[in-house]
Structure 1
Amino acid sequence: MARSLMVVGTSSSVGKSLLVAGLCRVLSRRGIRVAPFKAQNMSNNAAVCDDGGEIGRAQELQARAAGIRPTVAMNPVLLKPQADATSQVIVRGRPWTTLRARDFYRRKRELWSIVIESLESLQAAYDLILIEGAGSPVELNLKSSDIVNMAVAKHLGCSVLLVGDIDRGGIFAQLLGTLSLLEEDERRLVRGLIVNRFRGDPRLFDDGVQILRERGECPVVGVVPFVPDLRLPEEDAVAIEHRAPRGTATIRIVVIRLPRISNFDDFDSLERCDDVAVTYATRPEELRDADAVILPGTKSTADDLRWLRERELDLAILDHARRGGAVVGICGGYQMLGTAIHDPARVESSAKTIRGLGLLPVETTFRPEKATANVRAAVVGNQWPGWLAAGFEELDAYEIHAGETSSSQPWLRIDRGSERETILDGCVGPDGRVWGCYLHGLFQNAGFCEAWLRSLAPSWQGENLGATDAIDESLDRLADVLLATFDWELLDDLIKGSQRA
């Protein structure tokens, strides 16, 4: 059975996910067969495994850092927030049920056996499991139903690293306060502290390290510097709010910041392109002077379409299209671009039919079943206007959607694998400026991405840095930082001394 090491945080967004990814890359370089694990995650940025199951984007990134294929065992419980304080609960990669928050907390312990079975399947296949906690391990009102933090550590008897974010301020309160609220048997498992996102000369914090060591009665594993410009996918939409828009650029792309936006890492590739500015908008005036408007994926198409109309963003999008601007819809955004959305089984909405924006001649019908798959795709036919006329072969992408959309002019052929069907998808307007489809990840295909950008501005001379190159370069850079800042003698001792079962 594999050894294990756990990383928990003083709160959400202190950098646990990236630290685990960096550790996976360091240890895999050393020839250790390492796998990530997070019992329960919450994110609408999901990834699709080879078997079609969904997991959180962070665990997919961590698996990539470890040089292995992601599996549903790495994230057996995934919550995907929807409307009205409810979430779709994904268990072992497949929809289990939809619950309100208070009902989920009552039923969490039902999932404990699945968490343990998933963890044990990884232990049987790898040398080391790097486990990520969620939020804080000392949310006292939630501890009785814990299946993701110290309950996992106690089950394994593994060493725990506690991470605090000094960039937020209050690092002593974060770390020492968390230690003081842990139960004694939990406290004994915390074998190291990590101070994350330090700006400036870390020697200025030498006194702080001493204070933490003495008052926390626990060694400090490392003071990790703030690492700028990591081109890694985010799983929390809060990250969008902190992105500074790029200054002047030849091409300006506006993504509508839907309340339940999902898989917005679709557009990371556009942000990596030279001379392209990508911004996220919630007001009509933010669409002015845009070259293209993108309606992204959403976990609740019906509710977000209503939100769009309440803010009069629908009128701004229609005006943009009338003036010859490009409009793109991906997944839920594609559904919005059609003439109607039907929901006879009330999968998403209490309304039987919702009027779409009418920019594409398609209609969508929601079904309880969900399509999830990694796919290869190609542009079919040669009748398409403008930039699509040349056609594109071998596009890598993935599907996650609950609706079926009828189109009289599909432009994509999707191959779901040798044991699955080949289907047609998407719709394109008469001049090629308005188009949509269900496929996520299209812009990660450099040739496709660059051709579309040149259709927006023929004078554009930039290039797209491939998603694979950018992500792997960032993971290597993060790993180098951890190699230089962590006490690896201590870490190796913790790993070697961890229990095997």
Structure 2
Amino acid sequence: MTARTLMIQGASSSVGKSLLVTALCRIFARRGLKVAPFKAQNMSNNAAVCPDGSEIGRAQALQAHAAGTPLSSDLNPILIKPEADAHSQIVLDGRPFKSLSAYDYYTQKQTLWEHATAALDRLRAQHDLVIIEGAGSPAELNLKRGDIVNMAIARYADAPVILAGDIDRGGIFAQLLGTLWLLEPEERQLVRGFVVNKFRGDIRLFEEGVRILEEKSGLPVLGVVPYLKDLSLPEEDAVALDQPRFNPRDSSTSIDIVVIRLPVISNFDDFDPFRNDPGVQVRYAAQASEVRQPQAIILPGTKSTMADLAWLRERGFDRVIREHVQRGGALVGICGGYQMLGQMIHDPERIESSKESIAGLGLLPAETFFIPEKATYQVHARVTGQAAWLAGLPEPDLQGYEIHMGRTDSASTWLKIDTRNGLPCESADGSITADGRVWGCYLHGLFGNPAFRHAWLASLGWSPKSESPAPQETDRLDASLTYLADQVEAAVNMSEIERIIWAD
């Protein structure tokens, strides 16, 4: 049986399409359906690794978790990962395809389209319902000829479309009605209703707005979803870092951690687990003056290590980082940030830049060599180092994942990776100073291991305010997903949405 489909499109980017799809995946999954999310094309440097080592967007991984379906590249067959110099790495069916400019990307439309539709066909053959997410707006008229993610997919799947708008940013009537009216007649026929998202206040104040939308469009408003704050869910891309919660100013916190907001920052959800720890504040700094005097600085992952290292020097972060270390502050590098902390970075095949080699920050005894093969693994590792705070680590086992180009040779490894994608291996990773204050590794998801995270925080002077254990990250995630689904289910007309999906 071929699965039914429902598509959520938006009047613009950031109207909440991803979270609406996430909520609907959880709602229909707990009604007993076999559900899968799908997004033909996503642009994000926040990626997840599937069990077979393929990459997909973090948003689709979250949606799959909500739906209870295994991760696979079919959920997001085309992932665009922005790099430096206006190019992007195109990940096709979970594997690196080409590095392309925006213009050259559209020359690959036929190839990409064939892969996208094949992935959707496979999902529909294996599930009861596929909930499809669009990208940006279907009414970007200058881009419609190259469309493979919005109305082109809706027409291919004959999917009913719900159009979502963000009332919090204003202009909801222009958003929804303007988008609808700019569509071609055959595209408008696929739109079955609107959802007004991110409403603040008394919903009765928008009853007249609902009537206006319905009268002018001839379509039902299927729900007005409230603005949901403090969801502990990973963000889809770096646009979210502009939100106030990523730049707190709480002087009462005992531990202040600053993440350098690199231009091509990736996988910054690595730091979400710190939300679980009372008294710990994580800030993102794009200017050296914003760093001030935290207990720790973190250099996160990046899609362009060499370009972002040059940016870091241009902004004066290198001086601030050295002064921080000289004062005894902690410094951590994850993935690309780890590569920056070493002595040298070599790129003999010009994979990342036009330069053969550049000097690293010289704060770890490590040296990086870029190679064409991309490492994408779900991993199990063990802490083998005994430097400083690592010696008292109560639980040496770690879960995480790798996404990186290149290898790093280190004179002070502290991790042993023993499983990659379920297969035994033996690979040393990481580098650390003798005092344990400066360290790095390739392992994303590292701080999702509570014993490790808390041991490092304790080395910074943190102590838990309660003897009861903090909730596990997976428990916190599932609680947020349940809350999201409950709120959306209460706000939308589910019986009408079901009728739209299963109408003959």
- TM-score (ref. length: structure 1): 0.97
Provide structure 2 residue ranges, at least 5 long, that are not aligned to the other structure.
Answer: none
Q: 1:473 — aligned with what?
A: 479
In the aligned structure 2, how far is the partner of 1:279 from the partner of 1:389?
28
Q: Does 1:264 align with 2:268?
A: yes
Distance 1:68 1:418, change over 3 A: closer
Q: 1:493 — aligned with what?
A: 499
Distance 1:431 1:250, change over 3 A: same
In the aligned structure 2, how far is the partner of 1:124 from the partner of 1:393?
42
Cα deviation, residue 420, structure 1: 5.0
Partner of residue 294 from structure 1, selected from 298, 307, 310? 298
Provide structure 1 residue ranges, at least 5 long, that are not aligned to the other structure.
Answer: none
- C-alpha distance after superposition, 1:177-235 (max 9, x if no partner): 00000000000000010000000111111111111111011011100000111010002
Q: 1:409 aligns to what SS in structure 2?
A: coil
Cα deviation, residue 148, structure 1: 0.4
- C-alpha distance after superposition, 1:228-283 (max 9, x if no partner): 11010002111111133051200000000000000000011113321111100122
In the aligned structure 1, how far is the partner of 2:186 from the partner of 2:64?
30
Matches within 5 A, 1:439-458: 439-458=443-462
Q: 1:53 — aligned with what?
A: 54
- C-alpha distance after superposition, 1:95-154 (max 9, x if no partner): 000000111122223211111110011011100000000000011111111110001111
Q: 1:175 — aligned with what?
A: 176
Partner of residue 321 from structure 2, selected from 301, 317, 335? 317
CA contact (8 A) 2:412 2:433 kept: no
Q: 2:157 — aligned with what?
A: 156
Q: Which AA in structure 2 matches 1:422? A: E
Q: 1:124 aligns to what SS in structure 2?
A: helix
Matches within 5 A, 1:330-409: 330-381=334-385, 383-390=386-393, 392-409=395-412
Q: 1:33 — aligned with what?
A: 34
Cα deviation, residue 284, structure 1: 2.1
CA contact (8 A) 2:164 2:197 kept: yes
Q: Which AA in structure 2 matches 1:442? A: L
Distance 1:199 1:347, change over 3 A: same
CA contact (8 A) 2:5 2:159 kept: yes
In the aligned structure 1, how far is the partner of 2:282 from the partner of 2:110?
42
CA contact (8 A) 1:34 1:128 kept: yes
In the aligned structure 2, how far is the partner of 1:151 from the partner of 1:390?
53
Q: 1:376 aligns to what SS in structure 2?
A: strand
Which stretches of structure 1, 4 residues or more, deviate above 4 A after TM superposition? Answer: none
Q: Does 1:141 align with 2:142?
A: yes
Number of residue equivalences: 497
- C-alpha distance after superposition, 1:451-495 (max 9, x if no partner): 111110154536654221111111100100111111112111011
Q: 1:413 — aligned with what?
A: 416
Q: Does 1:483 align with 2:493?
A: no
Matches within 5 A, 1:215-234: 215-234=216-235
In the aligned structure 1, how far is the partner of 2:79 from the partner of 2:21?
18
Q: Which AA in structure 2 matches 1:16? A: K
In the aligned structure 1, how far is the partner of 2:274 from the partner of 2:391?
18
In the aligned structure 2, how far is the partner of 1:143 from the partner of 1:126?
29
Q: 2:331 — aligned with what?
A: 327
Cα deviation, residue 406, structure 1: 0.3
CA contact (8 A) 1:250 1:460 kept: no
Cα deviation, residue 418, structure 1: 4.6
Identity %: 57
Q: 1:153 aligns to what SS in structure 2?
A: helix
CA contact (8 A) 1:378 1:391 kept: no
Superposed CA RMSD in Å reads 1.2
CA contact (8 A) 1:86 1:100 kept: yes
- C-alpha distance after superposition, 1:293-338 (max 9, x if no partner): 0000000000000000001100100110111000000000000000
Q: Which AA in structure 1 matches 2:416? A: R
CA contact (8 A) 1:109 1:145 kept: no
- TM-score (ref. length: structure 2): 0.97
CA contact (8 A) 2:53 2:421 kept: no
Q: Does 1:422 align with 2:423?
A: no
CA contact (8 A) 2:389 2:455 kept: no
Q: 2:92 — aligned with what?
A: 91
In the aligned structure 2, how far is the partner of 1:66 from the partner of 1:357?
43
CA contact (8 A) 2:167 2:196 kept: yes
CA contact (8 A) 2:254 2:279 kept: yes
CA contact (8 A) 1:109 1:147 kept: no
In the aligned structure 2, how far is the partner of 1:71 from the partner of 1:111?
17
Which deviates more from structure 2 when the two are superposed, residues 183-192 or residues 283-292? 283-292
Distance 1:154 1:31, change over 3 A: same
CA contact (8 A) 2:255 2:279 kept: yes
- C-alpha distance after superposition, 1:23-54 (max 9, x if no partner): 00010000010000000000000000010000
